[in-house]
Amino acid sequence: MKENRVAILGYGGIARSHKSGYIRLQEEGAPVKLVALCDIDETQFTKTVTINTGETSSEDLSAYHLYTDFDEMLAKEEFDTVDICLPTFLHKEYTIRALRAGKNVQCEKPMSLSSADCAEMIAAAEESGKKLMIGQCLRFDGGYVALKEYLDSGKAGKVLSVRCERYSAMPRWAFEGWFHDYSRSGGEMHDMSIHDYDMIRFLFGEPKRVSAFGVDHEMKEQVSHAVMQYEDGMLVSVGGSWGESSTFPFTFGIHVTAENATVIWKNKMTAPRVYPNEGEPYDLPCTLVNYMAEQAHYFARVIAGEIENTTNPPESAMQTVVLVEKLKESAAKGGAIIEI
């Protein structure tokens, strides 16, 4: 397989996790190589940043070419793929610029601030003939992958209800405090709960009707409760929060209630745990991989033409943004039920 040479654009909080993923891939001998980093703020190259999931990274960037201007990087660097780790309000602009410059694009989630933007990004990918993938990284997380395999196997029987949670303090590390500006980040539902909305679609497809409520405090919809109902009556709830105290650890979880078993997957667990109606509880077979590495490796194989992108196509990431729009519409109407 041809080597995929990658340049990261935006070297803030999440880019450090991406860099760790690329280091891991190189150690494993995968044909993926991080060659350059670009950030308009050169102090980012010497800083350690801690994000809500607690990851930090000290900086030895001597292996990479560093840029503070995207056009200069495009002109001077030889590479195949831009890994966009910019604030969300810049995703559309830079994705389209990179595609038009002949680069493949892996862009962080959320795909963009509106589904109309997402459609433009997909059209630009089609016009350019280059590949686009959005970083809905939980689709590559070993725990969720094991859960999906188990539910798809039918062993759990009919799923009656799913409850998801994702809680953190307000993200405070970012560029110009952009997370706090609803018009730039879309708020907590658009930025963080989107992981659960996307995972629910990945596991179960589209809901039939939705309703959501938000609590406006330091920012609009800082805390949210969303409910989705499926055609067969299955109910899903997602609780999201950027309202936790600064000392409260980042928390996520999914709890599945099915005919034959209850299954849970939460932070601090090493595998999803099945509590069957018959027999003893057990852990699902699960390898906890570095999901940023898995995601980047998967995209390299898509670019090389080795596989079709069936796990995480950009059209699906766009549909997740459509779902966020429906949930926000409901929240704006005081929890009104919105048919999908």
Ligand X SMILES: NC(=O)c1ccc[n+]([C@@H]2O[C@H](COP(=O)([O-])OP(=O)(O)OC[C@H]3O[C@@H](n4cnc5c(N)ncnc54)[C@H](O)[C@@H]3O)[C@@H](O)[C@H]2O)c1
Binding-site ranges for ligand X (CB under 6 A): 9-15, 38-41, 44, 51, 70, 85-88, 90, 108-109, 135, 137, 173-175, 178, 191
* Cross-strand pairs, 264: 255, 273
| Beta-carbon count within 10 A of 127 CB | 11
* Cβ contact 9:94 at 8 Å: yes
Cβ-based nearer residue to ligand X, 14 or 234: 14
* Cβ contact 120:323 at 8 Å: no
Q: Please state, in angstroms and rounded to a whole number, the distance separating the CA atoms of residues 32 and 55.
A: 22
Start-to-end CA distance of the chain, whole Å, equals 41
Find the shortest distance in angstroms from Cβ 177 to ligand X. Answer: 9
Cβ-based nearer residue to ligand X, 39 or 117: 39
Cβ-based nearer residue to ligand X, 37 or 234: 37
Cβ-based nearer residue to ligand X, 37 or 156: 37
* Cβ contact 239:167 at 8 Å: yes
Among 113, 125, 101, residue whose Cα is nearest residue 189: 113
Find the shortest distance in angstroms from Cβ 252 to ligand X. Answer: 10
Find the shortest distance in angstroms from Cβ 196 to ligand X. Answer: 12
Cβ-based nearer residue to ligand X, 159 or 223: 223
Find the shortest distance in angstroms from Cβ 174 to ligand X. Answer: 3
* Cβ contact 54:65 at 8 Å: no
Find the shortest distance in angstroms from Cβ 47 to ligand X. Answer: 9
